[in-house]
Amino acid sequence: MLDIHRLREDPVGIEQRLKTRDSSIELEGILTLDQERLSLIHSVEQLKAERNRGAQEVGRCRKAGEDASELTASLSEVSNRIAEIDSELRRILSSIDHFMSLLPNVPHPTVPIGVKGNKITLRSFGKQSQFDFRVKDHVAIGEEKEILDFRRAAMIAGTRFPMYTGLGARLEMALVQFMFTHHAENGYTPIIPPFLANSESLYVSSQLPKFADDIYHCEKDNLYLNPTAESLLANLHRGEIFDEHELPKKYVAYTTCFRREAGTYGRDERGLIRIHQFNKIEMFKFATPEQSYVELDQLVVDAEEILRELGIHYRVALLATQDLAQQSSKTIDIEVYLPAQERYYEVSSCSNCEDFQARRGNTRYRPGAGKKPRYVHTLNGSGVATPRLMAAILENNQMPDGRIHIPEVLQEMVGEEVI
C-alpha cells in the first residue's frame, strides 16, 4: 500500500507515474476524502478539547454547590456531535483504505514506460539450441516417454492440471531438491510454510482484494490455496520490528502453488506452460531501503545460477510499467527458450516491492538505538518454478535418437543420465 503522505506531498507527480501503469488511475477522489478526514479530525479535536474544559467546569460548579445542569446539557450535545464525527471518520477512513488497497505501487524511475511485452533485454546466457531433426514439444515427449500424463490428470481433477509419472516424477522432485538445496547453501533460510493462508496474509502480500477471482478459496474455512509462496513469506515478520543489523533477511521456500488462470489459451500454452497447480522454489528478502536494489540485482543472479547449473539458455529482461504486478516497483524476468514453440517463456520473476507490502503488514526495522522504526523493503523472486523449466529441459535436451539428456547436476538424484 502506498503512503498517503506521499500522495499529499506530490499528487501530480505520483499520479503521472501511476498512469504509466494504468491510464485510468485518478487520485482526486482519494485526496478529496483525505482532506475531508483531516478537516473532521481537526473539528473533533476542538470539540474534545471543549468537552474537557466543560467537564472541568462542571466539576468546579458541583464542588461550589452551583447549578451545572445547563452546562451538562450543552456537553451532552458536544458528545453527540463527537460521536457523529467519529462515525463519519470511520466511514471516510474505510473508503480511503479501499481506494488505497486498489492502487498499484509507484514504478521505480529505472523502469521503462510502456505497454505489456515492451520489455528490455539486459543479457543472455548460452545460445538457442540448434537441431538437424524435427523437434518435438514437451507434451509429445512426455506422452511418448510416459513421464507426463495429462489425460489421467484431467480425469482426476480437470484440465490444466499436470501429472508426472515414472522418471518424470523423479525428475520433478530432483529439480525441487536441487533448487531448494542450492539456495539454502547460498545463505537463504529454508522454509516449508503452510500451503493455505488466511485473508489477512493475502491482503498483506497484495493478492487481496484486487485479485480475489484468481485465487482458489475454501469458503467453509475462509482459507485460500497458496497462489505463490510470496503470499506466505511476506507475512513471516508481520507486526515485528527488526534490528538493522539483522537485515537483509533471506528465505527460500518450497510450495505447491494453485492458480485459477482464468481465460482462454492458445496452442502455445498447452501442457506445462499455463496450469492450475505447480511446484515452485521462492526466494524472499527483507531489506533496508538502502540495501534493496542491490539485493534485487543479487536475487536475479541467484536465480540465474540455477539455469546456468542446468545448462539452459536464457535471457534476462527488465519489464515495462504495464507489466508490473500491483505490489512491484521494479521487476526483472528470466526467460527460457522453448524450441518447439520458437519463443521465450518466463520461469523467474524477481521484484522489489519497496515498502508496499511492509506497510500492509506493519513490518519495520529500527535504524539505530532510540531511532524511530522505518518500514522494510520486501523482495521476491522465483528460484525457480518447475513447469516451464521441465518443458525447457525436455525440449532443449532432445537427441537425434529420441532420448532426452538429463542435466548432469540432476543425474544422481534421478538415477539416470537419459530418458
In tens, the pLDDT along 272-310 reads 999 999 999 999 999 999 999 999 999 999 999 999 999
Q: By three-state DSSP, how is residue 59 classified?
A: helix
Name the pLDDT band for 265 (thresholds 50, 70, 90).
Answer: low
* pLDDT score of 399: 96
pTM: 0.93
Where is 121: in which H helix or E strand?
strand 120-125
pLDDT tens digits, one per residue of 349-374: 999 999 999 999 999 999 988 899 99
Choice among 4-8, 264-268, 363-367, 371-375 with the minimum mean pLDDT: 264-268
**Measured between alpha carbons, how far apart are the two ends of the chain, in Å?**
48
User: In terms of CATH architecture, what is 4-102?
Assistant: Orthogonal Bundle (1.10)
Average pLDDT over residues 239-267: 89
Q: What percent of the chain has pLDDT over 90?
A: 94
**Bridge partners for 284 per DSSP:** 251, 380
- Does position 268 have pLDDT exceeding 90, yes or no? no
Name the pLDDT band for 232 (thresholds 50, 70, 90).
Answer: very high
Q: What is the dihedral sign for C-alpha 8, 9, 12, 15?
A: negative
- Does position 264 have pLDDT exceeding 60, yes or no? no
Name the pLDDT band for 23 (thresholds 50, 70, 90).
Answer: very high
pLDDT tens digits, one per residue of 323-353: 999 999 999 999 999 999 999 999 999 999 9
In this structure, which amino acid lies at residue 191?
A: I
Q: How far apart are CA 176 and CA 259, in angstroms?
A: 19
Average pLDDT over residues 154-167: 97
Name the pLDDT band for 269 (thresholds 50, 70, 90).
Answer: confident
Which of residues 223 and 67 earns the better pLDDT score? 223
Average pLDDT over residues 190-216: 96
Q: How far apart are CA 161 and CA 273, in angstroms?
A: 11
Cα angle: 385, vertex 388, 391; to 5 degrees: 135
C-alpha cell at 300: 536475479
User: In terms of CATH architecture, what is 120-414?
Assistant: 2-Layer Sandwich (3.30)
Q: How far apart are CA 194 and CA 191, in angstroms?
A: 10
Domain range summary for the chain, segments of one domain joined by + = 4-102, 120-414
Residue 346 φ then ψ, to 5°: -70, 130
- Does position 262 have pLDDT exceeding 80, yes or no? no
Residue 256 φ then ψ, to 5°: -90, 140
* Mean pLDDT of the chain, nearest integer: 96
Q: What is the DSSP letter of 211?
A: T
* pLDDT score of 331: 98
**22 to each of 1, 102, 139, 305, 325, how far by Cα in Å?**
16, 12, 37, 34, 12
Average pLDDT over residues 250-265: 86
* pLDDT score of 267: 61
Name the pLDDT band for 116 (thresholds 50, 70, 90).
Answer: confident
Total residue length of the chain: 419
User: 128-134 long-range CB contacts below 8 Å, 24 or more apart?
Assistant: 128/313, 128/337, 128/339, 129/313, 129/337, 129/339, 129/395, 129/396, 131/339, 131/398, 132/400, 133/398, 133/400
pLDDT tens digits, one per residue of 30-60: 999 999 999 999 999 999 999 999 999 999 9
**250 to each of 184, 214, 353, how far by Cα in Å?**
10, 28, 15
- Does position 387 have pLDDT exceeding 80, yes or no? yes
Average pLDDT over residues 112-138: 95
Nearest alpha carbon to residue 332 among 341, 342, 344, 323: 323
**332 to each of 205, 228, 301, 354, how far by Cα in Å?**
19, 17, 11, 14
Q: How far apart are CA 286 and CA 131, in angstroms?
A: 44
**42 to each of 16, 39, 48, 84, 222, how far by Cα in Å?**
30, 5, 10, 14, 39
Q: Where are the alpha helices (DSSP H) in 162-262?
A: 167-185, 199-205, 229-233
Q: 209 preceded by cis ω (within 30°)?
A: yes
**226 to each of 182, 217, 371, how far by Cα in Å?**
23, 10, 36
Q: How far apart are CA 419 and CA 414, in angstroms?
A: 10
> Could you tell me if 134 and 326 are in contact, meaning their C-beta atoms sit under 8 angstroms apart?
no
Average pLDDT over residues 152-172: 97
